Structure 1
């Protein structure tokens, strides 16, 4: 990864007070600064909405350290890229945010214990010493989960899957989380704070994209929150140059009322990452959506940014690896990528410059999917 100039540190960043030695900056805009050698232009500033609940949850994580939250803003509706199949890739749509814990030490995060379940491994009592932040990635762990938390599906477990998902983030310390079937508040209140708590002192950031109805309005959870997919990452402050957020809905859709979405981010100068939850009603359409994302959306985002970086994708693709099936998930893996699966419908793909060296699955008790962890080497 190339060396880049750090953000200037002064009285404000994007107009918000910021103290590098303590406190938290909540970012609802696009990156404050970026390397003009490696991006389309510096200082792009299209603000996005962020729930005030993020500030509350971050404050709880920081055990009393104040949080500086930005005022909310209406999401922009600016389709900036059009890929194949009529797919609009939106910037300024959905939810996006970043914040940083300033004074908390690893292992001192205070949060409610996950629901007691027999057979679950215990959370480490002291610290998270098995992984360290602060250097270029090299070792890159990606965690894929489907948490079935809309409230509508039969696998819904009263919200306990979110605590369990946050627990998995604390336990495993992934560098990237791709998560499906969640509400926006799950991402802002629990899952992104879990990433920030696991990687104390780092920036934690997320991109969320809701599914939409046939009329184009967001699909909602039973609590009224938006329902969709999210990408959650972290980055040491010394390597964090901001991120760009992208989301959209496929040109290929089934006849149902839920139009499937994708969410992507560009962690500036480091990597691209996407997630999606493909249709469960038609394997041919799911395969078409998968190909649309990998051969249409991702290349269009790279062209928009004007720079190649390694790319990873995780999601519940509702496709299995089966060489006897015309809808074999391998049929949507383009040249230059490698795919690994959980033995069912969750898969992680990465460009070949980011090779896999191990994968693991973890039983989860409050969702009908296991957690799937891939360990890769990021150049």
Structure 2
């Protein structure tokens, strides 16, 4: 499998543009590598994947079940991450991934045409939605719909608080464009408020279907603008320190995977 890694360092006034990564003024910048212990891996890490698993969306000709589940498990184990954020997932598949990796999880069901959407092709995989998985125990979780959504698919955010005192959040925003006044732009503003209100070290990753950032003013932004598939619309935000981004090309879904590594605030 072809894999490549791209690292982006940020500083206090914005995210450094490197090899096509998007830079957003006003976001926090990661400290230089020597701010961390030399030779040591940053203490907190997250894997973001959009799995394209509803069975309804014609999002990718090579989406394959159960190979995408195997691929997600392999990436979690290979990267040894503290947290995983999943979009376009199914509740039964998330439970299977959690069982195979030993992670804790919370799932947020997306309402579709006024009711939960049962995943198909094959069926029996639970309901469609988003998930957060964590290596450390989950102490609390919250999720809610945005005030607006376009079409028949409700959009939601999900956050968990881990035993380590880190909040991990994800969301999948609407696809009607990011111009002012769109549903996506309204959801983006609401997401920024959610992240700003957490009150703890916080890291977010998700498919926001836009190129401009939804991060609060005091949080950094990293994006998959250099991805080989659907570039620029998966983002990571946070107030952890010395954040770096690595991209990994996937085989069985239509978005590359993101691996974010960062330090914990003192």
TM-score by length of 1: 0.53
1:211-264 deviation line (CA, Å, top 9, x unaligned)? 10242x1122111520010011012xxxx5x5112112111211x111112211
Calculate the aligned-residue CA RMSD, in Å: 2.1
Cα distance in 1 between the residues matched to 2:154 and 2:184 = 12
Which aligned pairs between 1:219-368 and structure 2 lie closer than 5 A? 219-222=117-120, 223-224=123-124, 225-235=126-136, 242-254=138-150, 256-268=151-163, 270-283=165-178, 284-295=182-193, 297-298=194-195, 302=198, 308-320=199-211, 329-330=212-213, 332-343=214-225, 344-351=232-239, 354-368=240-254
CA contact (8 A) 1:360 1:372 kept: yes
- The DSSP-based 3-state class of the residue aligned with 2:116 is coil
- When normalised by structure 2's length, the TM-score is 0.74
**SS in structure 1 opposite 2:111?**
coil
Q: How many residues were matched structurally?
A: 214
| Cα-to-partner distance string for 1:293-342 (whole Å, 9 max, x where unaligned) | 221x3455x4xxxxx3111111000011xxxxxxxx23x22221101011
How far did residue 138 of structure 1 move?
5.8
Q: 3-state SS of the aligned residue for 1:339? A: strand
From 212, 225, 232, give the equivalent of 2:111.
212
Give me the whole-angstrom Cα distance separating, in 2, the residues matched to 1:187 and 1:364. 18
Deviation at 1:119, TM superposition (A): 4.5
* Residue ranges of structure 2 left out of the alignment (5+ in a row): 5-40, 226-231
What is the match of residue 139 of structure 1?
A: 43
1:195 aligns with 2:101: yes
- For residues 173-214 of structure 1, the C-alpha deviation after alignment (integer angstroms, 9 at most, x for no partner) is 111111101100111012x13432xxxxxxx31111011024
Distance 1:342 1:139 in 2: 22
Match of 2:52 among 148, 152, 156: 148
- Flag the 1:371–1:206 CA change in 2: closer, same or farther, 3 A: same
DSSP-derived class of the 1:369 partner: coil
Alignment of 1:66-81 (within 5 A): none
Cα deviation code 1:118-138 (max 9, x no counterpart): 5579xxxxxxxxxxxxxxx96
Tell me the residue number matched to 1:34. Answer: none
Partners of 2:256 and 2:56 lie apart in 1 by 19
| Residues 177, 210 of structure 2: 8 Å contact kept | no
Q: 1:82-122 deviations in whole A, cap 9, x for unaligned?
A: xxxxxxxxxxxxxxxxxxxxxxxxxxxxxxxxxxxx5579x
Shift of 1:290: 1.9
- The structure with more radius of gyration: 1
In structure 1, the gaps of 5 or more residues are: 1-117, 122-136, 197-203, 303-307, 321-328
* Match of residue 18 from structure 2: none
Deviations 1:7-46 (A, max 9, x none): xxxxxxxxxxxxxxxxxxxxxxxxxxxxxxxxxxxxxxxx
Give 1:65's aligned residue.
none
Aligned structure 1 segments of 4 or more residues deviating by more than 6 angstroms: none
Q: CA deviation at 1:268?
A: 4.1
**1:158 corresponds to which of 58, 61, 65:** 65
Q: Is the 8 Å Cα contact of residues 173 and 195 (structure 1) preserved in structure 2? A: no
Structure-1 separation of matches of 2:215 and 2:2: 36
In the alignment, the residues of structure 2 paired with residue 287 and residue 243 of structure 1 have an alpha-carbon distance, to the nearest angstrom, of 31
Q: CA deviation at 1:157?
A: 2.1
Match of 2:91 in 1: 184
